[in-house]
């Protein structure tokens, strides 16, 4: 049976450190079985811009560095192994989309923005990382639109799916404080985490992509979270 156009969205998120076997299984083993045993018209493997951690360059063709001795790099290593088996499987039209931090409505998510919104609605945010920490965020609707276009029409092997704009934790907290009136505090051992801005030249040139401003959606996100949490 021909599976048609396949979007491989299986993966671990914040719990990958406590579930190492599931992380490798979902990012690599299940993918390899699918590539080996099934037929399809195209395959898009959803990876992550987290693979650029520690790298100064974030273009899709840039060489990447990982450290097997770092438990945080288990995620990066497994994603890169998934990318490699996908791109070198010999199957037609296999591509990779490296997703940035996707912002949408999921009140039970452990993602950074979801936890901040829940804390803001409780009246107080306590930052566990430095306010100057920063990374790239992309709205869910932008990400989905790009994923569909890449999966069906992409010409390159790898694409960054990101906004190309870093937001600091302070940006998030200031915006949430204005919208909800919450207080903002900081844990005494808060460390700074910074990621290089993600290169989005490829999606700009091939698809004419222009990211929507993430923080402008915060009032709507807060209202949707409030509704879901009140149910």
pLDDT at 109 over 90: no
Distance CA 89, CA 108 (A): 36
Residues 134-176 pLDDT 10s: 999 999 999 999 999 999 999 999 999 999 999 999 999 999 9
Residue 110: predicted pLDDT = 84
Distance CA 217, CA 55 (A): 30
DSSP 8-state assignment for residue 29: I
Burial class of residue 110 in the structure, from the number of CB atoms within 10 Å of its CB (0-12 exposed, 13-18 middle, 19+ buried):
exposed
DSSP 8-state assignment for residue 152: H
Residues 26-46 pLDDT 10s: 999 999 999 999 999 999 999
pTM above 0.85, yes or no: yes
Chain centroid, CA 21 distance in Å: 21
Element of type H or E holding 37? helix 30-37
Q: Are 23 and 50 in contact (CB under 8 A)?
A: no
Which of 35, 49, 14 has the alpha carbon at shortest distance from 84? 35
């Amino acid at each position: 049976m021909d599976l048609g156009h396949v979007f491989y969205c299986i993966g671990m998120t914040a719990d990958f450190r406590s579930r190492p076997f599931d992380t490798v299984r979902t990012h690599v083993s299940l993918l390899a079985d699918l590539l080996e045993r099934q037929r399809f018209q195209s395959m898009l493997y959803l990876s992550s811009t987290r693979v650029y951690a520690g790298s100064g360059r974030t273009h899709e063709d840039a060489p990447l560095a990982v450290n097997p001795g770092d438990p945080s790099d288990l995620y990066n290593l497994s994603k890169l192994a998934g990318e490699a088996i996908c791109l070198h499987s010999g199957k037609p039209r296999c591509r990779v989309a490296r997703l940035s931090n996707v912002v949408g409505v999921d009140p039970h998510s452990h993602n950074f923005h979801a936890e901040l919104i829940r804390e803001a609605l409780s009246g107080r945010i306590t930052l566990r990382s430095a306010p100057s920490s920063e990374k790239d965020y992309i709205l869910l609707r932008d990400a989905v639109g790009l994923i569909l276009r890449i999966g069906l029409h992409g010409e390159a092997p790898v694409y960054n799916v990101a906004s190309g704009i870093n937001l600091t934790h302070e940006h998030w907290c200031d915006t949430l404080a204005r919208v909800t009136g919450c207080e903002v505090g900081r844990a005494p051992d808060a460390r700074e985490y910074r990621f290089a801005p993600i290169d989005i030249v490829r999606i700009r040139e091939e698809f004419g992509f222009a990211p929507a401003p993430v923080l402008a959606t915060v009032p709507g996100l807060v209202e949707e979270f409030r509704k879901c949490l009140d149910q």
